[in-house]
Each structure stands twice: as structure tokens, then as C-alpha cells.
């Protein structure tokens, strides 16, 4: 498996960041979370004049074998259809990318179908959908490692083009099932607390989903390590996102973390490399059951509470203006001394 060299940001600059923020023309602490964000971003970039350059949303798409068990109300074919829709510009993530100036990269991690090269979808397909983890491991160790490598390669490419802030999205019918089992295995929480309605299951469908996933957990006979749980229950797009997160952390990029599925990917990433947590900005609390508990487990405080549960990176892009405001605060506000304003606190 690809290894990463991830270190926490050097704390030596923290005092300079706090001194600058406390001497801007405002009462101390009056810009709240913006001030906290400014410190985090300043630490990541090791400067008191941070910048946001060429933001990208990288969306990984793949199909799941577990979808054959009826754990989603949507047919598996929707993964391929929506992936093409993103390229045409008609998805939820598309209008947000246009609104906030993000470049969208759509990556085929394992969609059960082929795309014409002229569509411009990045081809990192490892296999056509995972295996059905109710009966066997979703992927082999070699396939898991190829996903980690593929995700890292996509991030390195956008970084080399000047990107220093990245969000990740996902598309894959059945991926809330895979994410729920990651969450249960990684947090120790009961599966019932981790499993929600996903794309809109009714009460009967949710009960069926819980039964299927409970059976899958009971059949699991692996060693319960992070890498083995990723391999056995994961989605190709999810494991690829883990590799992408780790590469972004190694490159000291700002990482916007979206909803339930990407937060589970972040959880897997920090179990492998705890230092990666320093680069994550948690965008929002999803409407998907379990996300609040997951954020609590990570001691994360999300920026937004909008009831979103679409995925694709949509919550991250909605939160981007807040991140932008924190950076603008550092670069555009005057200090008391320069503005010749008397401190009034």
C-alpha cells in the first residue's frame, strides 16, 4: 500500500496568528468561528496572510455489490446516470461549483459501466462495482491499495496545477450502507445508531437495510483492523477518497469534509494517520442518521446545519464562503495601529 508522510502543522506560528487576529479593528473574539478558522488555515499554510487558490471538488463514483440486497430505494443504474449528469452540468454539485468558482473533477473509481473518453471523466476504475459484502469481501487487498493510490494521484494532479483547497464528493448507490458499517466498526457504536434511510428508504425499507447489514457484520471474520474493514465493507469510491484525503494532508492542503460518507472516509484516514485531522474543516452536519454521533466521536464542530444529505460535496461548497471570509478577515481588515483606531475592549 502507498504510504504517506503527514505531519501536524508547526505550532510556532500560532502566537503570531493570534496576535494579528486580536489586533484587528474589532472586539477580541467577536468574529467567533471565523477567528478559529483563520488560525487553523494560518497553521496549515504557515502564514498570517493565507490564500485560497484554484479550489477543486473531486467527486469519486462507483457501484456497490450490496445494492443487490435492496438496501437503497434507487436502482444501481443511477450511479452511472448521475455520473454522466455531473459531466453535463446538471447535478446539485454543478450549480454550487459554478456559484463558488470550483473546478469539478469526476472520477470513475468503479462504476458498473463504461464512459466514452470524450466525456472527460477521469478513468481510475479498479473494477466494475464491489462484490456483495453480505457474502464476501467487497474488494481484495490489491484492489483496496489501487484505490488509495488512485485517489492520491488525482489530488497530486490538481495540487500541481496550483490548487491548495479541496473538497471531495461521492456517488454510489448503496454507499450509506458501506459507510454505516465503517462507522460501527471504527467507533464501536451499535449498528442501529449508524444506519439511516440513505436516499430515502421508508420504515419498512430501513428495517430491511438494518437486517441485511446486521447479517453482514455477523458474517465478517476479518481481523477488524482499519485496512481490513475498509477492504471488506468499503466502496471503491470511499477508499479512493481516503487516499485522496491522505495525499491532500501530506501536501498541506485545506480539506473540506462533506457529509456522512466523507466524514467516515476522514475517520478511516485519521485512524491510519492521526495527523491528517489537522487539515480537515468539517463543513456541515448531515441529515443522515448517525452523522451527529460520528462528528461527536471525532470531536468535530461543523460550520453548517442545513439538513443536507445529498453528498457529492454539496455541503462543503455551501460552507466555502465561510472559509473564504476567514481568509479575507486576515488579509483585508486593518489593525488598530494602522487604522489609527483606539482599542475599544
Query: What single DSSP character describes residue 102?
Result: P
Distance CA 227, CA 154 (A): 21
DSSP, residue by residue, 267-328: HHHHHH-GGGGGGEEE-B--SSTTHHHHHHHTT---SB-------TTHHHHHHHHHHHHHHH
| Residues 6 or more apart whose Cβ sits within 8 Å of residue 168 | 57, 58, 59, 60, 241, 244, 245, 255, 256, 257, 258, 262, 265, 313, 316
On whether the CB atoms of residues 252 and 279 are closer than 8 A, the answer is: yes
Annotated catalytic residues are 312
> In which element (H, E) is residue 259 found?
none
Dihedral angle sign, alpha carbons of residues 259, 3, 136, 220: negative
Q: Name the H helices within 14-131.
A: 14-22, 32-45, 77-88, 92-100
* Residue 185 DSSP label: H
Q: Which of 220, 209, 196 is nearest to 294 (CA)?
A: 196
- Find, among 148, 134, 128, 170, the residue nearest to 288 by Cα: 170
Task: Compute the distance between CA of residue 177 and CA of residue 315 in angstroms, rounded to an integer.
Answer: 20
Q: How many CA atoms lie within 13 A of 276 on its CB side?
A: 27
Amino acid at each position: 500500500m502507498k504510504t504517506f508522510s503527514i505531519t501536524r502543522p508547526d505550532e510556532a506560528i500560532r502566537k503570531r496568528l493570534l496576535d494579528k487576529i486580536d489586533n484587528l479593528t474589532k472586539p477580541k473574539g467577536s468574529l467567533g468561528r471565523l477567528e478559529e478558522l483563520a488560525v487553523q488555515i494560518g497553521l496549515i499554510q504557515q502564514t498570517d496572510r493565507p490564500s485560497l487558490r484554484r479550489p477543486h471538488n473531486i467527486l469519486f463514483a462507483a457501484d456497490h455489490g450490496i445494492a443487490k440486497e435492496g438496501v437503497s430505494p434507487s436502482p444501481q443504474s443511477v450511479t452511472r446516470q448521475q455520473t454522466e449528469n455531473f459531466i453535463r452540468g446538471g447535478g446539485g454539485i454543478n450549480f454550487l461549483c459554478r456559484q463558488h468558482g470550483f473546478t469539478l473533477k469526476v472520477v470513475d473509481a468503479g462504476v458498473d459501466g463504461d464512459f466514452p473518453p470524450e466525456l472527460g471523466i477521469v478513468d481510475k476504475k479498479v473494477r466494475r462495482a464491489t462484490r456483495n459484502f453480505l457474502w464476501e469481501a467487497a474488494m481484495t487487498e490489491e484492489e483496496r491499495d489501487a484505490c488509495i493510490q488512485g485517489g492520491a494521484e488525482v489530488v497530486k494532479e490538481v495540487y500541481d496545477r496550483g490548487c491548495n483547497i479541496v473538497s471531495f464528493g461521492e456517488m454510489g448507490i448503496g454507499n450509506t450502507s458501506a459507510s454505516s458499517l465503517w462507522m460501527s466498526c471504527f467507533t464501536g457504536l451499535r449498528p442501529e445508531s449508524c444506519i439511516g434511510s440513505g436516499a430515502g428508504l421508508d420504515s419498512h425499507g430501513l428495517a430491511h437495510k438494518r437486517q441485511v447489514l446486521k447479517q453482514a457484520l455477523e458474517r465478517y471474520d476479518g481481523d477488524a483492523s482499519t485496512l481490513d474493514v475498509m477492504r471488506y465493507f468499503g466502496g471503491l469510491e470511499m477508499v479512493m477518497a481516503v487516499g485522496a484525503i491522505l495525499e491532500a494532508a501530506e501536501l498541506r492542503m485545506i480539506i473540506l469534509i462533506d457529509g456522512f460518507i466523507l466524514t467516515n472516509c476522514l475517520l478511516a484516514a485519521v485512524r491510519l494517520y492521526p495527523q491528517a485531522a489537522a487539515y480537515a474543516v468539517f463543513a456541515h452536519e448531515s441529515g443522515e442518521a448517525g452523522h451527529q454521533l460520528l462528528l461527536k466521536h471525532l470531536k468535530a464542530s461543523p460550520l453548517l446545519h442545513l439538513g443536507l444529505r445529498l453528498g457529492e460535496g454539496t455541503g462543503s461548497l455551501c460552507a466555502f464562503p465561510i472559509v473564504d471570509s476567514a481568509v479575507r478577515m486576515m488579509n483585508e481588515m486593518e489593525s488598530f495601529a494602522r487604522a489609527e483606531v483606539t482599542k475599544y475592549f
